[in-house]
Amino acid sequence: MAERSEEVKLLGMWASPFSRRVEIALTLKGLPYEFSEQDIANKSPLLLQSNPVHKMIPVLLHNGKPISESLVILEYIDDTWQHNQILPQDPYDKAIARFWARFVDEQIYVTAMKVVGKVGEERDAAVEATRDLLKLMEKELVGKDFLGGESLGFVDIVATLVAFWLMRTEEVVGVKVVPVEMFPEIHRWVKNLLDVDVIKKCIPPEDEHLNYIRARMDSLKLKSV
């Protein structure tokens, strides 16, 4: 097990759901760390040096050694600091958790991004496609307080992307992608998340976050003109 005196630094961005999930994991572990805010439009030499392949946040620096990609970072944190385990210990349960985490990133997130980037019939199609995927998550939550079972776990941390990015983005877009009447279990899960002190501490402030999302969308619209 790593010593708490070791140097832990996170290269991230305050509004990124991928960066925030790493902060949640570090906070759950009770690990002191330095947060280095990165300008995505003007990437720092440290970021480019630490992640020369993707040149993206988040990057965890542990005693100067860089680890990239948020899912990889979460597993690294759990393997290195083994108290307050995030992933299940049973091999089958661990495999299932990894499956759902990838489903969130590779299916839900990728499809939901099209809701932001499209208009008219294309947006309507993206909304329906996102809902079809969310129905699988809705079914997975039946009878559970969290996606990980009785307590916050790996998949919940990853899926905060749905709770605090997608469900906030819909306010700006003006389209209810996750209506409560269609997804009562997801809305119940979000309320459970907000009862967890670590989550409340680590999610972006809502008003500031919504302003950022609006500014980003305006920027994307200008680029498309």
70-115 tens-digit pLDDT: 999 999 999 999 999 999 999 999 999 999 999 999 999 999 998 8
CA distance 8 to 102: 25
For range 198-221, the mean pLDDT: 88
- Among 85, 84, 57, smallest CA distance to 70 is for 57
Q: Does one domain contain both 149 and 212? A: yes
For 24, the token pair is: 């949640």
Classify residue 147 as exposed, middle or buried by CB count within 10 Å of its CB (0-12, 13-18, 19+).
Answer: buried
Q: Return the CATH number at 205.
A: 1.20.1050.10
The pLDDT, as a whole number, for residue 1 is 46
Of 39, 55, 80, which residue constitutes the final position of a domain?
A: 80
The pLDDT, as a whole number, for residue 174 is 87
The pLDDT, as a whole number, for residue 14 is 97
- Among 60, 62, 43, smallest CA distance to 3 is for 62
Number of structural domains (the chain) is 2
Q: Among residues of the chain, what percentage have pLDDT more than 70?
A: 95
Q: Does one domain contain both 147 and 97? A: yes
For range 117-138, the mean pLDDT: 93
The pLDDT, as a whole number, for residue 65 is 97
**pLDDT band at 3, cuts 50/70/90?**
very low
- Residue-number span of the structural domain to which 210 is assigned: 91-224
Q: For residue 59, give the H/E element and its range.
A: strand 59-62
The pLDDT, as a whole number, for residue 4 is 45
Give residue-wise pLDDT tens across range 13-63: 999 999 999 999 999 999 999 999 999 999 999 999 999 999 999 999 999
Q: For residue 158, give the H/E element and its range.
A: helix 154-161
Give residue-wise pLDDT tens across range 138-181: 999 999 999 988 899 999 999 999 999 999 998 888 889 999 99
- Among 74, 68, 17, 8, smallest CA distance to 36 is for 8
CB-based contact 134:183 (threshold 8 Å): yes
What residues are paired with 35 via a beta bridge?
A: 10
Classify residue 76 as exposed, middle or buried by CB count within 10 Å of its CB (0-12, 13-18, 19+).
Answer: middle
The pLDDT, as a whole number, for residue 59 is 98
The pLDDT, as a whole number, for residue 220 is 62
Q: Return the CATH number at 74.
A: 3.40.30.10
Q: Does one domain contain both 26 and 120? A: no
Q: Does one domain contain both 205 and 133? A: yes
Q: Does one domain contain both 24 and 114? A: no
Residue 188 domain-assigned (yes or no): yes
Whole-angstrom CA distances from 203 to 9, 49, 157, 209 are: 18, 28, 11, 9
CA distance 127 to 62: 39
Backbone angles phi, psi at 91, to 5 degrees: -55, -40
